[in-house]
Amino acid sequence: MAQKKIVVANWKMAPDTLKEAKALYLAERKTATGLRRVQTIICPPVIYLHSLSTPYALRPTPALGAQSCFHLKSGAHTGALSAEMMARAGARYVLVGHSERRAEGESSVQVAMQVNAVFDAGATPILCVGERERDEHGFFLKYLEDQLIESLHGVSKKRIGMLIIAYEPLWAISSEQLRPATPKESEQMALYLRKLLASKIGLKAAREALILYGGSVDVKNCEAFLREGGVGGLLVGRASLDAKQFGEILKIAERAPQLH
């Protein structure tokens, strides 16, 4: 069976209240549940996870995800939340290594530990990677290689084959945006990531790896990324806070061709 396209909503630090979060989830759910070829994953702020998932016995459709987790499983760590806690609150996915978390000081070593912690908790990590800037000499390729390899340090071949990778160039994320990435750039980088993955998990598994594009995805550009971007889905930030826009993106994804 063909792999469904994955569309992830990253709500970041919004909305402000549980009431708004419930309304947004229900509105996005309405579109998402009618689609057969798209798997939607909604990542709300962690404080809303449990309330959103409990009416569905912790297995809601669309699936819920967390936006990050602590790299250790237990211990005296004030303010930290473990991957296990996220999974118990209903998260089947966890974003790890998002650039906004890395900017707060999370290292690739910690990100690699988070990847394993999420798998240990029975959830699937969505590993975010992306270069800060582009340069004409191509140093950004080495930067991305180092980031990917370090973020997978100590992660088994089997697990690497099961995780989802989100390519998110920092310069294209809406909060930083210098310019939007092009579908061509996404395609080139997805190809490059597959090449890097091939050395770890083999050519066939790397070709089938689930890679998403993220960074200023909206109703206008999503179709081109899905058709020409070499990716199996999208990670959507700002546009996912508007149920109408996000619903349109989901419907466009439903019509776009499968990658594999």
Angle at 86 between CA 85 and CA 92, to 5 degrees: 135
3-state helix, strand, coil in the chain (%, to 5): 45, 15, 40
Q: Which is nearer to ligand PGA, 207 or 220 (CB)?
A: 220
Shortest approach of ligand PGA to residue 94 CB, angstroms?
Answer: 14
Q: Annotated catalytic, 248?
A: no
Q: For residue 247, what are its two tokens?
A: 């619903």
Contact stretch for ligand PGA (CB under 6 A) within 83-91, 129-137, 141-149, 166-174: 166-174
Identify residues 227-246 at the interface with ligand PGA (CB under 6 A): 235-238
Shortest approach of ligand PGA to residue 172 CB, angstroms?
Answer: 7
Shortest approach of ligand PGA to residue 75 CB, angstroms?
Answer: 29
The full DSSP string for 172-234 is GSTTT-SSPPPHHHHHHHHHHHHHHHHHHH-HHHHHH-EEEEESS--TTTHHHHHHHS--SEE
Nearest residue to the partner ligand PGA, using Cβ: 237
Per rule CB under 6 A, is residue 186 in the interface with ligand PGA? no
Query: For residues 146 and 108, what is the distance between their CA atoms, to the nearest angstrom?
Result: 9
Per rule CB under 6 A, is residue 173 in the interface with ligand PGA? yes
Per rule CB under 6 A, is residue 44 in the interface with ligand PGA? no
Residue of 87, 58, 53 whose CA lies nearest to 73: 87
**Where on the chain is the footprint of ligand PGA (CB under 6 A)?**
10, 168, 173-174, 214-217, 235-238
Residues known to be catalytic: 98, 168
